[in-house]
Structure 1
């Protein structure tokens, strides 16, 4: 039987991605998925034959086990136990198991499956040290979660079911009916004879399964709230086998991470959804998943990672397009009952202009660094990226960074600025010109204005020569720029040019007519003045 599945809501879309992920056993390249299986990918739907589902449930469980089981954690705890029992004065009691976090039901069920008896049994025997060493040796034979799965699956597989029931069925989604879905799909789903028999998602096939079986814990649906939503007639919310399978597969189209909240670790689920074609959505899922798992991102604020992923997703496009990129965050609600969830949505509305700006800039050219004052610390990349995506970056931000930078030049100041004000200026000016400017100039023209103004300011700064005087002049000019007072700035600029005999550069690129051109000149000119202070402190490289 052949079936067609269309993109729908965010959770259903995660199910389509998860379906492809399971089918291919974690194949990253979508073209390899379609070449190996009888499946066709279109912009907004997939088409497949039920024959591809022959080993689907086994693949599903294997990937789920690989996600949630952690053999390295077990090795670490067993190593701690071995170290404890080898200490000369160690008392071999079950209290040690609690101290090394090996007293739980799950770990004992695992050890019993691979060794024949659990730790409680071992500590009830006389040969504790020998048994523990044997367990240690056995666990260290496994090099990955997949190795563990294969070993257990080749035996009775009891622990696999036990573990997935705890980690998946009770906490995330009901996967037990997947075989029923597959059997229905293979034999052909029934068509509804009456409208009230139609699946409430696709409307094409007869509903056979309720939300509690298929839409899982993450979505927040169960029989009780389905009754409430559907006027105490949960039968209205039934699903066909095809839609039920897609929802069950969402487990493998979502990214799972464990984050420390206070003293405890809490599991968060993240789904990425964007208005794009299925191939791009699948590729986006893998970019997101890999970014999350990078070591350098483990201690980074999570919304910063989302922003960086968003920029990377945009840069992957062959051309700039307007779109919405959403990250749906689901976490266990500590104030609710079992299975209740709390939700957040991080939405990025990407205009065509913003996409074009990010593609032409590249994430590697987003300014890096930080500033701090006493206990206060701020990552400048995080700030700028957040305002870029929110499309709220403006001249006031540039003035603020200049203010921090000038104040940091005072050795007695508590403010320390560790960023290139020149790179910050170039980025923000380019952003304003391309995204917010009323009369957009070409990038070449803006570069010409910035370059001439910077070196004009630098040449004047060399003439002035005194740091305190340069800082005072820079502050005065910066105050004019903060309020866009072109006349006051021009008056000071002309007086300085005449007093020190420097060439007047302001005006040759319509700076006296166009305000954006004027602001570009003004900030670049002040930057040139400040570069002399850095040069006097052997730090000019930070600016340029």
Structure 2
């Protein structure tokens, strides 16, 4: 039984490797047995016996430590996809494709495909590798994480999923530095093209922002919404916008409209949300800080407590309307305020706010008058106010999750 199992595994390994390396050594089609012996003869023994002539004039260009072998061709099955092969002589010094490599580095390059993670996309199989220069341990862990993400996510959005989970796994004290130099390499063997590189070279400001908001981001991990049975996750979308530098208040505006639509009986069949207004307040806080520190790169004209103050002003107005048996007016007021902020219409927003406060014999919060001088501050206060207006008791909302 063990012999049959070993024979089966040998056959599977041979089929797999032949797709990568062609008919080399033990992978030749006419070879029907003794694969291991041929492999040992062609690859292991030459290294162990060290009979290959050494080029005393040159040091290995890869490690810079050991003498190079003589007449080494940089051909590992992977190198042709990087443009390094004997057919591309114009990229070599004096048109000589033989490079000074030592035996150990040659073996490492030959084993490059062992570190790639395969992924089936359509009819093609592509390979991925995460490159990190912080440490070997982090390099290994990042590629292990990529394998786990690809196992559970078969769509094209796995990159955002991967980077999101990588961010949340970083130790907080070193995230600011280790997140600044990560790249994902994609190799498609079915096409004669150079590999794609998905760079994760984020600025120091953005890395610091992510580090400072790790706990806030983790708190959003379970949030999402459904549109016609298609589930989407808030955290992945948020991280995607952060990486693309496209995070704006438009995102919280969209989530507010989805939330209000899901409350309407006619829309419930096509809209489902898995978050509450106090979650949206956390998102509003993240967006505000991102714009202030990463986009505008300035010291904010307001503090986090000011956003929560606007949130509680909205909550107070909602409580007054409920006391007056006018709870049914809350959604209508919120819709008008959300639409005004969506198009940046400050005058309409203030007109709705003033009329509502006057009708309920309440004083308009002074913070809105003071925020006219800065539009980002006004948006931060406006969305915080709407979040509070739509919220109910926080404990009740948590119990409903």
The 5 Å alignment of 1:222-241 reads 223=85, 225-227=87-89, 229-230=91-92, 233=95, 235-237=97-99, 239-241=101-103
Give, in whole Å, the separation in 2 of the partners of 1:189 and 1:446: 74
Partner of 1:166: 15
Count of matched residue positions in the alignment of Structure 1 and Structure 2: 374
Asked if 1:343 is matched to 2:195, the reply is: yes
Judged with a 3 Å threshold, the aligned counterparts in structure 2 of structure 1 residues 462 and 479 are, in CA distance, closer, same or farther, namely same
Q: Distance in 1 between matches of 2:326 and 2:21?
A: 66
1:327 correspondence with 2:168:
no
**3-state SS in 1 of match to 2:349:** helix
CA displacement at 1:416 relative to structure 2: 0.5
Residue number among 262, 265, 284 corresponding to 1:408 in the alignment:
262
Instruction: Tell me if 1:417 matches 2:281.
Output: no
Matched, 1:391 2:251: no
Q: Among residues 111, 114, 117, which one is paired with 2:3 in the alignment?
A: 114
Counterpart contact for 1:254–1:270, Cα < 8 Å: yes
* Structure 1 residues 436 and 367: CA distance shift in structure 2, 3 A: same
* Cα root mean square deviation, aligned: 4.1
CA distance in 2, matches of 1:421, 1:354: 27
Residue in structure 2 matching 1:452, options 292, 312, 315: 312
Structure 1: where are the runs of 5+ without partners? Answer: 1-110, 116-147, 153-157
Matched residue SS, 2:299: coil
Q: How far does the alpha carbon of each residue in 1:417-465 deviate from its partner, in whole angstroms, 9 at most, with x for none?
A: 3132425523432223332214336864355335423423432442564
Report the Cα distance in structure 1 between the residues aligned to 2:172 and 2:353, rounded to whole angstroms: 44
Task: Give the direction of change, closer, same or farther, for the CA distance of 1:523–1:352 in structure 2 (3 Å limit).
Answer: same
- Unaligned runs of at least 5 residues, structure 2: 26-38, 293-297
Shift of 1:506: 4.0
What does 1:389-538 align with in structure 2 at a 5 Å threshold?
Answer: 389-413=243-267, 415-437=270-292, 438-440=298-300, 444-446=304-306, 448-463=308-323, 465-466=325-326, 469-507=329-367, 511-531=371-391
Distance across 1 between alignment mates of 2:400 and 2:207: 27
Query: Helix, strand or coil: the match of 1:318?
Result: helix
Residues 417 and 483 (structure 1 numbering): CA distance in 2 closer, same or farther, change over 3 Å?
same
After TM superposition, give the deviation of residue 357 of structure 1 in Å: 3.2
Q: Secondary structure at the match of 1:179?
A: helix
* Partner secondary structure for residue 459 of structure 1: helix
Aligned-partner SS, 1:524: helix
CA contact (8 A) 1:191 1:206 kept: yes
Q: Whose relative contact order is higher, 1 or 2, with alpha carbons under 8 Å and at least 6 apart?
A: 1
Alpha-carbon spacing, 1:235–1:199, altered in 2? closer, same or farther (3 Å): farther
The answer on whether the counterparts of 2:186 and 2:197 sit within 8 Å (CA) in structure 1 is yes
1:182 equivalent in structure 2: 47
CA spacing shift, 1:216–1:234, aligned 2, 3 Å: farther
Does the Cα contact within 8 Å between 2:78 and 2:112 map onto a contact in 1?
Answer: no
The answer for the alignment partner of 1:39 in structure 2 is none
Could you tell me how far apart the structure 2 residues matched to 1:372 and 1:203 are? 55
Alignment TM-score, normalising by the size of structure 2: 0.74
The offset of 1:395, in angstroms, is 1.0
- Would you say the 8 A contact 1:215–1:247 is kept in 2? no
Matches within 5 A, 1:231-310: 233=95, 235-237=97-99, 239-257=101-119, 259=120, 261=122, 266-293=124-151, 296-297=152-153, 301-310=157-166
Number of the residue aligned with 2:68: 206
1:325-352 Cα deviation digits (max 9, x unpaired): 211122331xx5xxx5773332223233
| 1:90-114 residue CA offsets vs partner (Å, 9 max, x unmatched) | xxxxxxxxxxxxxxxxxxxxx8x83
SS of the residue 1:273 aligns to? strand
Q: CA shift at 1:404, angstroms?
A: 2.3
Note closer, same or farther for the CA distance 1:228–1:316 as it changes in structure 2 (3 Å cut). Answer: farther
Q: Following the alignment from structure 2 to structure 1, what is the Cα–Cα distance between the partners of residues 15 and 375?
A: 63
Over residues 16-51 of structure 1, what are the superposed CA-to-partner deviations in whole Å (9 max), with x where a residue is unaligned? xxxxxxxxxxxxxxxxxxxxxxxxxxxxxxxxxxxx
* In structure 1, distance between residues paired with 2:172 and 2:142: 9
Q: 1:445 to 1:241 in 2, by over 3 A?
A: same
Tell me, yes or no, if the aligned pair for 2:127 and 2:187 is still in contact at 8 Å.
yes
CA, structure 1 residues 462+390, in 2 after alignment: closer, same or farther (shift >3 Å)? same
- 1:508, distance to aligned residue in structure 2 (A): 8.5
Quick one: distance in 2 between partners of 1:393 and 1:459?
32
CA contact (8 A) 1:207 1:241 kept: yes
Deviation at 1:187, TM superposition (A): 7.7
